[in-house]
Structure 1
Amino acid sequence: MSPAANRRRPGRPAKAEAGDTKNALLDAALRLFAQNGYAGTSIRAIAREVGLSESVLYAHFDDKRALYDAAMRLAGPQVATLAVDDAPDEPAAFVETFAEQVLAVWDSPRSRQVISLVSRDARMNDEMLELGIEEALAHLAHRFAGWLAAGRVRTDLGSPGDLAYALLAPIAHARQLWLHAEATESQRERAHDRIRAHAALFARAITPLPPA
């Protein structure tokens, strides 16, 4: 193979390097978004944060919005959708496992920066965030629909959508209050305690009562 064939096109790093650079840019963007807000963070500042040129950044992300969208895919409400798919099928065990998996991701540095960003910039009505929440609720509702049809959970508590929202909403609320970028250790512990207590209570509440 000729030397020319071995040369990469300018601005297109090797795959391993590309993955490292992309993650570094994403982490830098999240730090700066959380500190300065989305509008207050420039492409130049993100690139300089990791010692790269803007042209290198544009080799990985089309624009600043693409960085934001990538952050939401990693640490936004879509995480709850993945937790639905990975949790066991027994209803009570599902609820507690689901809560633990979501908590583990939402207490990561990236996720705490994401919630600081959306709170600081009043982006709670952002279309991508809303779509992620609706997707997670739909996945949860699908599980509850199957259990309701099979009589595996109480049928007097509401629709599958009602149950999905009742499970997820308090977890998301605890995240917003106590799992942000500036959260103290005690606040994070409070989030863990509240989410686990909610999951345990919810698991007991949906379990059908034994015959009288």
Structure 2
Amino acid sequence: MANDRSLPTRERLLAAALERFSRDGWGGTSIRDLARDVGIRESSVYKHFGSKQEIFDALLERADARLATVASGLGVVVDSPPAAVPAYVGITEQRLVEVADGFFTAVLHDAELVALRRLFVVNQYRDPEIGRRLRDYWVGRPVAFQSAVFTELIATGELRPGLDPEMVALSFFGPVLALIQLAETGEADEQRARAMLAAHVRHFRSTHLRES
């Protein structure tokens, strides 16, 4: 993709950066490397991005847009917790499983999201600050978002009263992260992980939904 001349230079730079960062790490990649990968002068990179940090920020923004597209295709939104809540009020068990499985598929198989997760794994030890930002992206932000959603669902009576929204978010999202790790080890394990994801969603719903 970095060498696809039909794409704008900015997009080619982002593709090259994602590939390089996920393979060689943040510190192991230079602006010169990216210019060489794309086939432009190093000085030309700065016409599109002021620094390597700006390139990294743009990758996160593009991942946000990708996740928003995935969410829209599943009939939900991830723009803000208040906007997300209506889709989950009265949601059926099967529908909730479908939504969870849809996000699961995107995280496992969307090339850009896969590379961004690999970037996190590579950089969390090599570069603590980049690792921190990626950990916030893949763990901190989702838990905070879900905590806010669960706060609303508890307040509206959708979930049992007295629950701690952050603990509810952790109890939902923690197993999902573990199942993503399991699914990455092979096709058979992915199928097992999907079955466990569906079981997890059903169990979560049965234990947290307010009894009618």
The alignment's TM-score, normalised by the length of structure 2, stands at: 0.70
The answer to whether residue 27 in structure 2 is matched with residue 34 in structure 1 is no
Contact 2:120 2:135 in 1 (8 A): no
- Aligned match of 1:136: 142
Q: Is 1:159 aligned to residue 155 of structure 2?
A: no
Alignment pair present for 1:145 and 2:147: no
Determine the structure 1 residue equivalent to 2:48. Answer: 60
1:1-212 equivalent positions in 2, closer than 5 A: 20-75=8-63, 79=67, 82=78, 85=83, 88-90=87-89, 92-93=91-92, 95-96=96-97, 98-107=99-108, 108-122=110-124, 126-132=131-137, 133-155=139-161, 158-176=163-181, 178-179=183-184, 184-186=186-188, 188-189=190-191, 191-210=193-212
Change (3 A) 1:167 1:176: same
Say if 2:124 and 2:132, in contact at 8 Å, map to a contact too.
Answer: no
Moved more, 90-99 or 52-61: 90-99
Residues 61 and 104 of structure 1, relative CA distance in 2, 3 Å threshold = farther
Root-mean-square deviation over aligned CA pairs: 3.4
User: What CA distance in whole angstroms lies between the structure 2 residues aligned with 1:35 and 1:59?
Assistant: 25
Segments of structure 1 that go 5 or more residues without pairing to the other structure are 1-16
- The 3 A distance-change label for structure 1 pair 121 and 130 is closer
Q: Following the alignment from structure 2 to structure 1, what is the Cα–Cα distance between the partners of residues 117 and 206? A: 29
Change (3 A) 1:169 1:50: same
Q: Distance in 1 between matches of 2:189 and 2:46?
A: 37
Would the alpha carbon gap of residues 56 and 184 (structure 1) be closer, same or farther in structure 2, given more than 3 Å must change? farther
Deviation at 1:209, TM superposition (A): 3.5
Please say which structure displays the higher CA radius of gyration: 1
Deviations 1:155-192 (A, max 9, x none): 36x3111111222222233335545xxx6555555554
Q: Is the 8 A contact 1:115 1:176 kept in 2?
A: no
- The alpha-carbon distance between structure 1 residues 20 and 105, as it changes in their structure 2 partners (threshold 3 A), is farther
- RCO comparison, higher one (Cα < 8 Å, 6+): 1
Contact residue 96 and residue 201 of structure 2 kept, 8 A: yes
Corresponding residue of 1:8: none
Corresponding letter in the other structure for 1:22: R
| 8 Å CA contact 1:92, 1:207 repeated in 2 | no
Q: CA deviation at 1:71?
A: 1.9
Q: Which residue of 1 aligns with 2:74?
A: none
Distance change >3 Å, CA 86–CA 105, structure 1 → 2: farther
| Number of corresponding residues | 189
Q: Matched residues in 1 for 2:194 and 2:47: separation? A: 39
Are the structure 2 counterparts of residues 20 and 91 from structure 1 closer, same or farther at C-alpha, using a change threshold of 3 Å? Answer: farther
Distance in 2 separating the partners of 1:206 and 1:54: 54
